[in-house]
């Protein structure tokens, strides 16, 4: 408390905290020796990193649903946890498989000879990746494409029509892990009917954020995940989506939340998380970083009467007060700069 009183007295006398200390308050013969602070710390030079932590759920990310486009009976379903890759069956209708192919553009029409468009190119690229040839991967469905489709259909046990009917394939960005089933074997299959839900095959953390958090959380950002055992592993934000949640009562309005997905990065991170199928974890996001700066404990800061902050500098058995500019706050320390403040400077820690 004495330090604050000294600073206020200096301000009231028209001087600054720096001037007050520099003038050597207490040097008169009738004054007692200066009282040193109860504790001290040295100014250190370091990289200061500020972070924010969010509660997350370790799993496989947000699940999405595949909707059936065929008519008949559900005759085949995968098991929850199965991983389905390009060219494999997601489920079956009337004994015929619905095949997973990779692509961003959803199927929206039957594809046949004479058709043109990006969906044709997407189909042809998948056929090529599955080992079929004799055609050019472009946006034209030619007789050569039809011949490759017939060969593909023969390998799957389908009727060799050379035409890909709407609903026979589901285009998804990558291999998928089955998260849940929406129907049972023997159920009627109708267009528009949800059949199963699926996720990424990569371990990921899902976090609910406030819209204001988007200032710090960006797609592609490198982050860390703290596992239940305390180990931290690297991850990357791969998806940000917005949801509107209805209010729970008559007086509550709908609210907007952001769902962030962060996938674990690298084999070591995946190995460290292998023992957790689902678990509560912390997502750690870097919100600021200052390299090679001078820092002191936050508890060393003194609030100045004229505004701002100061430090009590201890040297040669005496103390003086120096006004400082502050920067980044992190981990109980703060970036500082000011006249006479350098690495190794000793500052007081008030009670």
Q: How far apart are CA 348 and CA 344, in angstroms?
A: 13
- Residue 31, pLDDT > 70, answer no
H/E stretch holding 144 reads helix 143-156
Q: Are 278 and 59 in contact (CB under 8 A)?
A: yes
- Fold classification of 64-199 is Muramoyl-pentapeptide Carboxypeptidase; domain 1 (1.10.101)
Quick one: what percent of the chain has pLDDT higher than 90? 78
Tell me, what's the pLDDT at 220?
94
What does the pLDDT look like over 279-318, one tens digit per residue?
999 999 999 999 999 999 999 999 999 899 999 999 988 9
User: What confidence score (pLDDT) does residue 252 get?
Assistant: 67
Residue 241 has pLDDT above 80, yes or no: yes
Structure tokens at 170: 């589901």
Question: Is the predicted pLDDT of residue 15 greater than 50, yes or no?
Answer: no
- What does pTM read for this prediction? 0.69
Tell me if 52 sits within 8 A of 215, measured CB to CB: no
Backbone angles phi, psi at 234, to 5 degrees: -75, 150
Instruction: Specify the pLDDT at position 42.
Output: 96
Q: What is the dihedral of CA 89, 90, 94, 95, to 10 degrees?
A: 30
Mean pLDDT computed over 261-275: 92
Q: What is the pLDDT of residue 248?
A: 65
pLDDT at 191: 96
Mean pLDDT, the chain, integer: 89
Q: What is the pLDDT of residues 49-95, one digit of tens each?
A: 999 999 999 999 889 999 999 999 999 999 999 999 999 999 999 99
Domains of the chain by residue range: 2-48+289-349, 52-60+202-288, 64-199
pLDDT at 13 over 60: no
d(C-alpha 240, C-alpha 215), whole Å:
12
- pLDDT value at residue 351: 80
Q: Hey, what CATH topology would domain 52-60+202-288 get?
A: Elongation Factor Tu (Ef-tu); domain 3 (2.40.30)
For residue 306, what are its two tokens?
Answer: 């004229």
CATH of domain 2-48+289-349: 2.40.420.20
Half-sphere exposure of 175 (CA within 13 A, CB side): 11
pLDDT tens across 134-187, in order?
Answer: 999 999 999 999 999 999 999 999 999 999 999 999 999 999 999 999 999 999
Interior/surface letters 144-157, b for 16+ CB within 10 angstroms, e for the rest = ebbbbbbbbbeeee
Q: Tell me, what's the pLDDT at 35? A: 82
pLDDT in tens, 180-227: 999 999 999 999 999 999 999 989 999 999 999 998 999 999 999 999
Which pLDDT does position 265 carry in this prediction?
92
Determine the Cα angle at 172 with ends 168 and 175, to 5°: 105
User: What's the confidence (pLDDT) of residue 251?
Assistant: 58
Residue bearing the bigger pLDDT, 119 or 35: 119
Identify which has the larger pLDDT, 68 or 32: 68
Over range 226-251, report the average pLDDT. 86
Residue 307 zone, left/alpha/beta (φ > 0; ψ -120 to 50; rest):
left
């Amino acid at each position: 408390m004495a330090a604050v009183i000294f600073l206020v007295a200096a301000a009231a006398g028209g001087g600054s905290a720096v001037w007050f200390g520099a003038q050597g308050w207490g040097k008169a013969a009738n004054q007692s020796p200066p009282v040193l602070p109860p504790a001290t710390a040295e100014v250190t030079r370091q990289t200061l990193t500020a972070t924010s932590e969010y509660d997350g759920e370790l799993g496989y990310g947000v699940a999405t649903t595949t909707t059936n486009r065929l008519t008949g009976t559900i005759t085949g379903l995968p098991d929850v946890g199965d991983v389905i890759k390009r060219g494999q069956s997601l489920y079956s209708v009337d004994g015929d498989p619905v095949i997973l192919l990779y692509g961003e553009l959803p199927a929206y029409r039957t594809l046949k000879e004479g058709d043109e468009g990006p969906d044709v190119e997407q189909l042809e690229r998948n056929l090529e990746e599955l080992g079929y040839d004799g055609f050019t991967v472009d946006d034209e469905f030619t007789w050569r494409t039809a011949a490759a489709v017939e060969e593909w259909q023969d390998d799957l046990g389908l009727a060799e029509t050379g035409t890909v009917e709407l609903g026979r394939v589901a285009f998804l960005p990558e291999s998928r892990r089955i998260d849940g089933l929406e129907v049972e074997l023997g159920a009627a299959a109708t267009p528009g009917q949800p059949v199963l839900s699926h996720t990424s095959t990569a371990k990921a953390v899902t976090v609910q954020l406030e819209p204001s958090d988007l200032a710090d959380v960006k797609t592609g950002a490198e982050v860390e995940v703290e596992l239940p055992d305390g180990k931290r592993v690297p991850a990357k934000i791969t998806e940000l989506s917005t949801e509107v949640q209805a209010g729970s009562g008559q007086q509550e309005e709908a609210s907007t939340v952001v769902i962030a997905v962060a996938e674990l990065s690298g084999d070591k991170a995946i190995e460290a998380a292998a023992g957790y199928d689902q678990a509560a974890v912390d997502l750690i996001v870097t919100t600021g970083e200052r390299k090679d700066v001078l820092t002191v404990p936050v508890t060393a800061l003194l609030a100045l009467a004229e505004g701002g902050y100061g430090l009590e500098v201890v040297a040669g058995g005496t103390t003086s007060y120096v006004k400082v500019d502050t920067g980044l706050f992190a981990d109980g320390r703060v970036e500082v700069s000011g006249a006479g403040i350098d690495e190794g400077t000793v500052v007081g820690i008030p009670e």
